Each structure stands twice: as structure tokens, then as C-alpha cells.
Structure 1
Amino acid sequence: MDTQLNGRTALVTGASQGIGEAIARALHAEGAKVALLARSEAKLAAITDALGERALAVGADVTNEESLAQALATIEAKLGPVDILVNNAGGLRSSTGELFRPFEDIPDADWLETWEFNVLSVVRVTRALAPAMAERGWGRIINISSESGIQPDAVALEYASAKSALNILTKGISKTYASRGVVANVVSPAYVDTPILRDLLAQQEGAEKLLPDELAAHFQPALRPNIAVGRPGNPEDVAAAVVFLASERASFITGTNLRVDGGSVMAI
């Protein structure tokens, strides 16, 4: 498939590992110039060193307006205006260290911090970049959500509700910019074998004798029995969906949620 991404500039947030890293690598492989943004510039540098030309590591915190503004200025100065924005940074915030808590145990501060990380950070980055995309008449905004935004569990409702809000936000952004050549879509993964997931699974009962590579597959039948394809996802599955949505082949797709979930979500 000719994606026609050669020479485009992409920004991937939360790109230091897992899904974000896979997305950055896939876009780079299609010829795009890629800025990888995360809080740990050291982790990013190892990736960009391996990628070589057209890859830029930028250390910044998407929840800090000043840090983000400086990062965006650096990216434009070194790679040019951003054409493709992938808002991948996100996750649970917990003041107790426990992530999957029941509703009654989640304090207000953790609700606010989780929403800041998953929703307001996307607002902040998109608000900074989308108007210029619209002025140039071409742009791609791809927000990484979660199956939890559609099919929540009884725990981690602060995260599920934030991802649901992200889905609605993306739909509104798609209507704001579609007539000016900028399309916006969501990709919703489910149970993807990433370093973060492995860390969480390593805390589960029965994980003591398992190798890290075995954790996701071992716990998948119990934790995500609805995955119809019968295996965990991998970061490259998500990256492939992002590359498609970033490409010219997806120019008539906007306001859509592309679920990369192996059939886990029960609704159509």
C-alpha cells in the first residue's frame, strides 16, 4: 500500500516504549520524519539512534503547558510543521500505587490527574497544532484510546471515563476541521502486550513462575476472555492501524473509532 507519507512530519507522544514506540517506528518506516516525545529523553534517544535520520527525540511532559510549548517549538525548528499528530500519551494515575481500584476507592485527586493526562493533554497538543494544519489544508490527528472507553470494567473507572471522553472529543475535533483537510480519528486497542501490561500482570497471583513473554498470553483467557482471535494484541497491530489512518488512503475517514481489539468489545 502506498501511504504517501514520505516527507511528512509526525509527532508521537508517549513514544518511549510499547505502542508509542511501535507507532513511531512504523511511521518512520513509511518515510515520515518523526518526533518522539516523552518525559524520558534518554529512553527516546536509544530509539532515535537506532532509527537514524528523520527521527528526533524530545523530552517533555504533555501535562505541563510550558514544557510542551518548548517541545513543539523544537520540533518545528528541526523537522518542520507537524502534519500527523498521534496523541498516544496516557494511562492511569494513582496516588496509592494501586491501579485497578474499585469506584469507592478512587480519590478526587486521582480522577483529576488521570483526566489531565488522558484528555486535557490531548486538548493542549491538538489546540497547538490543528489550526496550522487547517491553514495548510492537510493534517491527521489520531488519538489512542482504549476498549475501556466503550466497554468499561468495574474497576479503573477514572481511566475508562477519560477514554470515553477522549472518543467524544475526537468526534468533535473531526467536525471542527474536516472541511479544511484535517481528519481526526480514534484507535482503541485492547489488551496489548506492552511493558506496562507486563508490569501489571507480574503482580497477579500465579505470575511467579512465568517469563515476561508468557504473561499476557497466560492471563488473557481469564482477564480478556472475549478476545475472539484468542491472543493478546501486540504494539505493531496498533501501529499498522495508525499508519493506515495517517495515509492518503484514509482521507475520507474522520470521526471514526478503529478498534484494534481482536473482537473483545461485544457491541458492533
Structure 2
Amino acid sequence: METLLAGRVALVTGASQGIGEAIARALYREGAKVAFLSRDAGKLDTLVAELGGGALAVAGDVTKADSLAAAIGRVESELGPIDIAVNNAGGLRSSTGELFRAFEDVPDEDWQATWELNVMSAVRVARAVLPGMTNRGWGRIINISSESAVQPDPVAVEYGTSKGALNTLTKALAKAYAGRNVLVNVVSPAYVDTPILRELLAQQEGAETLSPDALAAHFLSAFRPNIGLGRPCRPEDVAEAVVFLASERASFITGTNLRVDGGSVTTL
């Protein structure tokens, strides 16, 4: 597929592993210059060393405005103005270490930290890149959400609602900037088999007797039984969807939620 991304500058947050790494690698393969942004400078340096010219490791914390601003400034100084921004950094924040908690067990500070990570980080990235995109008349913002935004779980409510807010932000920005050829979309995976998820599963009660593959299979059947394809999503599945939305092939698509969920969401 001809994506016409050669020479474009892309920023991917949370790019040190899992979905973010797969997205950044995929954009790089399509010819874009790619900034890998994460707090883990060591992992980033290793990744970028493998790829060579046009790949940039940028250490930064998306939950801290000053850190994020400095990181974006470095990207634009070294690679050029950002054409494609992928807000992938996200997840749950817990002051207790337990992530999948009932609603009544989540304190205010964990709600705030989770929303800071999933929503405000995307707000800040968009606010930083939109002026340049609108001036140039071309831009792509792609937010990584979750099926939990529209098909929420009874636990980790703070996560699902933050992703719902991210979807709303996406639609609003798409409406606000479509006339200036800045397209804003969201990609919503379901159960992506990543190192982070496997680590979380290994912490669950009874996990010590199961292999990583057995744990992944159990999570699939117990918590995501509607995935008709019968396997977890791979990071590369999400990455291919992002490449498409970033490309000229998607030049008439904005404000859309592209679900990469194997059929898990039960409504259209």
C-alpha cells in the first residue's frame, strides 16, 4: 500500500515497548521520520540504535507539561515540524499497586492520575502540534483508546471513563480542524498481548501455577469472550491501523473510531 509518508515527521508517545513501539516502527518503515517518546531513555536508545537515521529517542513524561513541552521542542528542532502525532501513552495509575479495583476502592488521586495520563497528555500534545499543522494545511492526530471506552468493564472504571473522554476529545477536535485538513481519529484495540499486560496477569491470584500463554488464554476466555477471532490483538495489528489513518489513503476519514478488536464490541 502506498502511504506517501516519506519525509513526514511523526511523534509517538509511550513508544518504548508494546503498542507504541510497534506503531513507531511501522511509521518508520513507511519512510516517516519518527520520534520515539517515553520516560525510559535506556530502552529508547536501544530501539533507535537498531533503526538508524530518521529515528529519534526523546525522553519525556507526558503527564508533566514542562517535560512534554521540552520533548516536543527537541523533536521539532532535530526532525522538523510534527505532521503526525500518535497519543499512545496511557494506562492505569494506582497508589496501591492493585489495578483492577472496584469503583468504591479507587481514591480521588488515582482517578486524577489516570485521567492525567490518558486525557490531559493528549490534550497537551494536540495543543502543541495543532498550530503548525493548521498553518501547513496538513496534519494527523491519532489517539489510542480502548474498547473499554464504549463497552466498559465493572472494574477499573477510572480507566474506561478516561478513554471515553479521549474519544469525545477526538470527535471534537476532528470537527474543529477538518476545514484545515487536520484529521483526528481514534484507534480502539481490545486485549492487546503486550509485555505490560502479561506482567499484570502474572500478578493475579493463582497465576503462579500457570504459564504466560495459559494466563493469556484464560484472560481471553474470561474477560474478552466476544473476540470472535479467538486470539488476542497483536501490537502490530494496531500499528497497521495507525499507518492507514496517517496515510493519504485515509484523506477523507476524520472523527472516526477504528476498532481493532476482533469483534469484541457487540454493537456497531
TM-score class, shorter? over 0.9
Matches within 5 A, 1:1-268: 1-268=1-268
Q: CA deviation at 1:176?
A: 1.0
Question: Structure 2 CA distance, aligned partners of 1:24 and 1:161?
Answer: 26
In structure 2, runs of 5+ residues without a counterpart are none
Instruction: Work out the number of aligned pairs and report it.
Output: 268
Q: Secondary structure at the match of 1:36?
A: strand
Letter in 2 for 1:160: G
Q: Secondary structure at the match of 2:207?
A: coil
Q: CA deviation at 1:53?
A: 1.2
Question: Structure 2 CA distance, aligned partners of 1:240 and 1:95?
Answer: 34
Letter in 2 for 1:142: I
Q: Secondary structure at the match of 2:155?
A: coil
Letter in 2 for 1:260: V
Q: Secondary structure at the match of 1:11?
A: strand
Q: Secondary structure at the match of 1:228?
A: coil
Which sits farther off after the overlay, 44-53 or 252-261?
44-53
Give CA-to-partner distance per residue, 1:160-179, whole Å, 9 cap, x none: 00000000000000011111
Q: CA deviation at 1:206?
A: 4.2
Give CA-to-partner distance per residue, 1:124-155, whole Å, 9 cap, x none: 11001011101100000000000000100100
Give CA-to-partner distance per residue, 1:41-65, whole Å, 9 cap, x none: 1111111111111100000001111
Give CA-to-partner distance per residue, 1:68-110, whole Å, 9 cap, x none: 1111111011100000000000110000100010000010111
Q: List structure 1 segments (4+ residues) > 6 angstroms apart after TM superposition.
A: none
Compute the TM-score of the two structures, normalised by the length of structure 2.
Answer: 0.98
Question: Structure 2 CA distance, aligned partners of 1:27 and 1:119?
Answer: 23
Q: Secondary structure at the match of 1:167?
A: helix
Q: Secondary structure at the match of 1:128?
A: helix
Letter in 2 for 1:202: A
In structure 1, runs of 5+ residues without a counterpart are none
Letter in 1 for 2:254: T
Question: Structure 2 CA distance, aligned partners of 1:212 and 1:133?
Answer: 43
Question: Structure 1 CA distance, aligned partners of 2:210 and 2:161?
Answer: 32
**Cα RMSD after superposing both structures:** 1.0
